[in-house]
Amino acid sequence: MKQFILKSSNQRISLYDKAICRLNDGLLYSYIEDNKSLVKIYNYSQIELKHGKKLIAMIENRPPFASEFESNSIQLMWPTDMVFDEVGRYKGYIIDKLNLQDYIPLSHLLAPIGNSKKPAAYNYRQKMLVAYHFAALMSNLHQNTIHLININPSIILLNKKSLKPLLIASDELSILDKGRKRFSALSCNWLYCSPDELVLSKSPDRLGLAQDNYAIAVLIFQLLNQGLHPFQAMPKNSFKLPPKLLSLIKNQKFIYGYSSGSDFRPPAWSIHDFFDDETKTLFARAFSDSEERPSASEWQLHLKKYISENNTSLNECSAHPSHYQFFNGCGICAKQELGLTLRDRLFKSMSYLSSIKSGFTESRIKFY
């Protein structure tokens, strides 16, 4: 039985032999002395000094909403204490206990909804609800001067009942400690990294709120528009192959709603045309290189009106209960009626396969 010592009290803790799950850089265990907590033990022989200082700053600057411990509402794996081994090397940290079997990867909600008679696993309103909860969480983090930076589906789980997100890599985010020193984020996925940062090749420690606001909009766009990345596009010339997504992102040409003067068009299964004007304007601001991107709280306020009980802005589609529609008809039905060309169908499966291959949509948590 592995034993470690708590930093705060010098109390010894004894881990159960079998880990609950594997995270990308460590294992999560229950331990005998406290059934309301878990311990993450890193794979490394010792935590780097800089990372240890960051964990201490996180423990001392716990955001108020992170401590609302209810098994269904916890949204951050926030450190509450650190642990070291017999020879004094820092090996990991303590978090509040989570029932991980109550969660699913966010990537499950990025799959496009089709017109199959069988209802989709998650309907459009649920995707909207996830987008709202995600914006609300990010707004809370930003109010507490925390930047997530590495926003992408692989670090986000969703509670099966509430569809609230849980960030599984809280120790990677960027925080400000009481001494006003900022501890930076560790990485940033290129698929969610803003084009200006990609072109300038800024390292994660130079990224801040503007990067978060960009990535929030990408994830909301994917949830609302059938899993499509906002820079994903098809050449209008049917003899040309679609360019690589990275080059489209770097060129930063957001063609959704603006494709008339462009050589590109949105993929045929995009339902962006059916969004209301206010939603379209927010996306246009997020992906234009000249305008100020909407903040998390702006998204939160905007999305709230689609998920409230008495909302009239998003209505169930009369033909398919998995679909929902804004004011101008059901986009999913309309696009399906037009039928996808063979080229679009090929591109749809290719883009899905490449997102799986790149590993960005798969959760970084593996359950035992």
Q: In the complex with Zn ion, which residue's Cβ is closer, 23 or 332?
A: 332
CA distances from 25 to 41, 169, 262, 364 (A): 9, 10, 43, 9
How many Cβ atoms sit within 10 Å of the Cβ of residue 104? 16
CA distances from 171 to 2, 250, 302, 306 (A): 23, 29, 29, 32
**Per-residue exposure over 183-202, b if at least 16 CB sit within 10 Å of its own CB, e if not:** bbbbebbebbbbbebbeeeb
Strands 81-84 and 103-105: unpaired
Radius of gyration of the chain (CA): 22
Q: In the complex with Zn ion, which residue's Cβ is closer, 13 or 113?
A: 113
Q: In the complex with Zn ion, which residue's Cβ is closer, 52 or 114?
A: 114
Please tell me the distance from the alpha carbon of residue 49 to that of residue 127, in angstroms, as a whole number. 40
Interface ranges with Zn ion (CB under 5 A): 317, 319-320, 323, 330, 332-333
Beta carbon of residue 318, minimum distance to Zn ion (angstroms, whole number)? 8
Beta carbon of residue 277, minimum distance to Zn ion (angstroms, whole number)? 20
Please tell me the distance from the alpha carbon of residue 300 to that of residue 293, in angstroms, as a whole number. 14
Q: In the complex with Zn ion, which residue's Cβ is closer, 241 or 319?
A: 319
Q: In the complex with Zn ion, which residue's Cβ is closer, 43 or 318?
A: 318
Please tell me the distance from the alpha carbon of residue 324 to that of residue 123, in angstroms, as a whole number. 8
Give the chain's largest Cα–Cα span: 68
Strands 324-325 and 315-316: antiparallel
Q: In the complex with Zn ion, which residue's Cβ is closer, 293 or 335?
A: 335
Beta carbon of residue 131, minimum distance to Zn ion (angstroms, whole number)? 19
